[in-house]
Amino acid sequence: MPDEPPSVSRRRFLRDAAVGSGALLLGAAPTSLMAAAPSALRFPVSDHCDGRRFFNPRRHINRDWTEIIRWKLTSSPAPWPERVPITPVPPPPAPSGRDLVATWIGHSTYLLQSPLGNVITDPVFSERASPVGFAGPRRVHEPGIRFSDLPPLDLVVVSHDHYDHCDVATLERLALDHPKAVVVTPLNNGPILAAAGWAPQRIHELDWWESLALPGGIGAQITPARHWSNRATGARNGRLWGGCNLKFGDRGVHFVGDTGYDEFMFREIRQRCGAPDLALVPIGAYEPRWFMSEMHCNPAEAVQIHLDLGARLSAAKHWGTFQLTDESREAPVTALAAARTAAQLGAEAFRTLAPGESLRA
């Protein structure tokens, strides 16, 4: 396995690092920053970081503005419904014994309940996945559980800085209403949390493979994903992205971050973290493939990720809530069913849930 991306990509990173200004940190310095050498290198140099910017191991392809324009000029996005009516549900009762209960609230937001505590992933309760309230992708269904009905949370996972995963308005409400909760997130996303009102001691910024153990027995390990990062402020790829491997005692849940398929990555996660009881796997935002395949897997690749991880059970995320790309709202569900059949998996092995629907793992 090479330690750095191919030379063309490497030159691109060095060029970007030379001309980029880098994101300014707000709030308290994270431990990773304090540990860094007092030079231009702000983060540990690794197979996914040159010291200032992050990249994908083995290969990294940045889509530039000309490609975005080409996509928008040549695409014909399938129509989505304006609104999908749902009735929000109360959260399931707290599980007992070794049970885990996962409830899909929408997009990448899952509530995970266990006797050891409660976790929420990529919490987005806002009407839009956008830096502004008046434009940007709008949700087509209400959150499956109302924010005010959430049980007390112990851990919030924020996988990366994209607006459909890192929603400042929701994070501000969580910081106030769930004072026991801490947040785990990949390197350099901490300043966004600090700006959303999270005290420094509640923010745990981790590099890939670093982990956090909560006193109540929940463990969280940030894991690789094949993706990128960007917001209205800060440098492109100046904040790390990832997945999160969660442990609830001897039970495991793997939250796959936004990711393109990578034939090594998920097998390595299985080797290092163990096969999970439940994997939460993205299935949407994948068309057109020429543009999206480096950053978002399609349902067939999602099934391959399920197999690579050795997950006993998988549930879908990253579909059905916000229209981000060209496929129809139902296309990921149909394609997932076909991919399951091709892999000789039963419908129960990799499920799609309705907003507010739960499964027990």
For residue 168, count other CB atoms closer than 10 A to its CB: 16
Closest distance of CB 153 from Zn ion, Å: 21
* Binding range to Zn ion, per CB under 5 A, among 18-26, 73-81, 212-220, 255-263: 255-263
Please provide the DSSP assignment of 163-225 as one string: TTT--HHHHHHHHHH-TT-EEEEETT-HHHHHHTT--GGGEEEE-TT-EEE-TTSEEEEEE--
Q: Does 327 bind Zn ion (CB under 5 A)?
A: no
Q: Does 270 bind Zn ion (CB under 5 A)?
A: no
* Binding range to Zn ion, per CB under 5 A, among 13-21, 58-66, 140-148, 156-164: 156-164
According to DSSP H, which parts of 30-112 are helical? 31-35, 65-74
* Binding range to Zn ion, per CB under 5 A, among 77-85, 193-201, 253-261, 344-352: 253-261
CA atoms of 26 and 262, how far apart (whole Å): 33
Which of residues 162 and 231 has its CB atom nearest to Zn ion in the complex? 162
**Orientation angle between helical segments 331-342 and 299-309, nearest 10 degrees:** 50
CA atoms of 16 and 36, how far apart (whole Å): 20
Q: Does 162 bind Zn ion (CB under 5 A)?
A: yes
Query: What are the φ/ψ torsions at residue 219 (nearest 5 degrees)?
Result: -115, 150
Q: Which of 174, 168, 255, 269 is nearest to 220 (CA)?
A: 255
Q: Which of 194, 106, 122, 180 is nearest to 156 (CA)?
A: 122
Closest distance of CB 37 from Zn ion, Å: 30
Q: Does 164 bind Zn ion (CB under 5 A)?
A: yes
Q: Does 167 bind Zn ion (CB under 5 A)?
A: no
Q: What DSSP character marks residue 236? A: T
Closest distance of CB 36 from Zn ion, Å: 25
Q: Does 262 bind Zn ion (CB under 5 A)?
A: no
Q: What DSSP character marks residue 330? A: S
Q: How many angstroms separate the most distant Cα atoms in the chain?
A: 54
Which of residues 89 and 333 has its CB atom nearest to Zn ion in the complex? 333
Q: Does 317 bind Zn ion (CB under 5 A)?
A: no
* Binding range to Zn ion, per CB under 5 A, among 143-151, 159-167, 168-176, 273-281: 159-167
Q: Does 308 bind Zn ion (CB under 5 A)?
A: no
Q: Does 139 bind Zn ion (CB under 5 A)?
A: no
Which of residues 32 and 109 has its CB atom nearest to Zn ion in the complex? 109
Q: Which of 121, 118, 110 is nearest to 94 (CA)?
A: 118
Which of residues 121 and 314 has its CB atom nearest to Zn ion in the complex? 121
Closest distance of CB 159 from Zn ion, Å: 8
Closest distance of CB 68 from Zn ion, Å: 15
* Binding range to Zn ion, per CB under 5 A, among 4-12, 77-85, 155-163, 168-176: 155-163
Q: Does 122 bind Zn ion (CB under 5 A)?
A: no
Closest distance of CB 237 from Zn ion, Å: 12
3-state SS track over 55-78:
CCCCCCCCCCHHHHHHHHHHCCCC
- Which residues sit at the interface with Zn ion, rule CB under 5 A? 162, 164, 258
